Amino acid sequence: MRRRTFITLLGGAAVAWPVTASAQKAERERRIGVLMHLPENDPEAQARIRALLGGLQQLGWTEGRNLRIDYRFGAADVDRARRYAAELIALVPDVIQASGTGPMAAVHEATRTVPIVFAQVPDPVNAGFVDSLAHPGGNATGFSVFEEYGSSGKWLELLKEIAPQVTRVAVLRDPTIAAGIGQTGAIQSVAPSLGVQVSPVGVRDASEIERSIATFGHGPNGGLIVLGAPLAIIQRDLITTLAARHRLPAVYPVRLFAMAGGLVSYGPDSIDPYRRVAAYVDRILKGDKPADLPVQNPIKFELVINLKTAKLLGLEVPPTLLARADEVIE
């Protein structure tokens, strides 16, 4: 009796194996192209990719099983981004994830049919990537860097709070990124009430960064605001080192600058959007259209203060500012 039962079960299992194998084989592999605006070896780039992969895995997508991902890293080079965008389109992906304005512009120029989910893009409407935040209307949607230009004025307010003696501020920005104009304008609009003269400084490479900060640092009572851009992120060690060398209190747009020795940073979490990107990629792979998925603004902002740098600059951080900080580096 036992022997007959065993044979029956074994026979059932033998029948089940081909069915299971066939089902696994039938699962279609989907393809994603990822175009980052940072170098491949940048720890920030790798952290963003891990967040994207983690989000996708939670939704049932795994590289090597039902998903293939092709990566390209533009490293703040416009021509390279265009070339990589064309390469990714040629691979016929189901969706492309573009990080930053430069890569997004390159991909958007290369295709108006392949779905695109962007991140780290400051002004997708004025850049022409979407019709509106609520109704993108084309083949692209994603996650903006900030809600409105007015919030940029908070950087100047923070700088005056932590360094009241500052009366001259250089706004370091990449002139190829149009959103920097709106951000600079917002900073300039609050400057008179704070008794500060604001000077926009356009930089395109490391040598311009070094020359500009050194020149500005010769004057008295200077401070620095660094706008978010791939170039600034790539050169964050250089910028924070120069700010310290020339004793310039500085405010930065994301946490990684404070981690690199910057005085204070305030801005959206730079990793969280990539977890949220995964949800949009999942929805598109399951049939949703980018045109119907609203562009989302940041939901997590971080204030980070580096007390070691404050001490180096001879600054006493107000207790009220410390109390508001999400993180303090000692």
| 147 — pLDDT class (breaks 50, 70, 90) | low
Q: Is 231 exposed, middle or buried (0-12, 13-18, 19+ CB in 10 A)?
A: buried
Q: What is the pLDDT of residue 300?
A: 86
Calculate mean pLDDT across residues 237-248.
98
Nearest-CA neighbor of 326 among 249, 265, 251? 265
Q: Which residue has the higher pLDDT, 32 or 299?
A: 32
Calculate mean pLDDT across residues 241-258.
97
Q: Is the pLDDT of residue 204 over 80?
A: yes
8 A C-beta contact, residue 37 and residue 81: yes
Calculate mean pLDDT across residues 137-159.
88
How many other C-beta atoms are found inside a 10 Å radius of the C-beta of residue 323? Answer: 7
| 55 — pLDDT class (breaks 50, 70, 90) | very high
Q: Is the pLDDT of residue 14 over 60?
A: no
pTM comes to 0.86
In DSSP terms, which residues pair with 238 in a beta bridge?
Answer: none
Outline which parts of the chain fall under CATH 3.40.50.2300: 29-147+270-300, 149-269+302-329
Calculate mean pLDDT across residues 235-249.
98
Model confidence over 164-184: pLDDT tens digits? 999 999 999 999 888 888 899
Label residues 199-220 b or e (16+ Cβ within 10 Å = b): ebbebeeeeebbebbeebbeee
Provide the CATH number for the domain formed by 29-147+270-300 in this structure: 3.40.50.2300
Q: What is the pLDDT of residue 150?
A: 66
In DSSP terms, which residues pair with 265 in a beta bridge?
Answer: 252, 304
CATH number assigned to the domain with residue range 149-269+302-329, chosen from the 4 options 3.10.20.30, 2.40.10.410, 3.40.50.2300, 3.30.70.890: 3.40.50.2300
| 122 — pLDDT class (breaks 50, 70, 90) | confident
Q: How far is the C-alpha of 64 from the C-alpha of 74, rounded, in Å?
A: 24
Q: Is the pLDDT of residue 39 over 60?
A: yes
Calculate mean pLDDT across residues 273-300.
96
Q: What is the pLDDT of residue 330?
A: 93
Q: Is the pLDDT of residue 24 over 60?
A: no
- Percentage of residues in the chain with pLDDT exceeding 70? 91
Calculate mean pLDDT across residues 202-211.
96
In DSSP terms, which residues pair with 30 in a beta bridge?
Answer: 67
Which residue is it, tokens 């020149």? 215
Q: Is the pLDDT of residue 306 over 60?
A: yes
Mean pLDDT (the chain) is 91
Model confidence over 125-146: pLDDT tens digits? 989 999 999 999 999 999 998 7
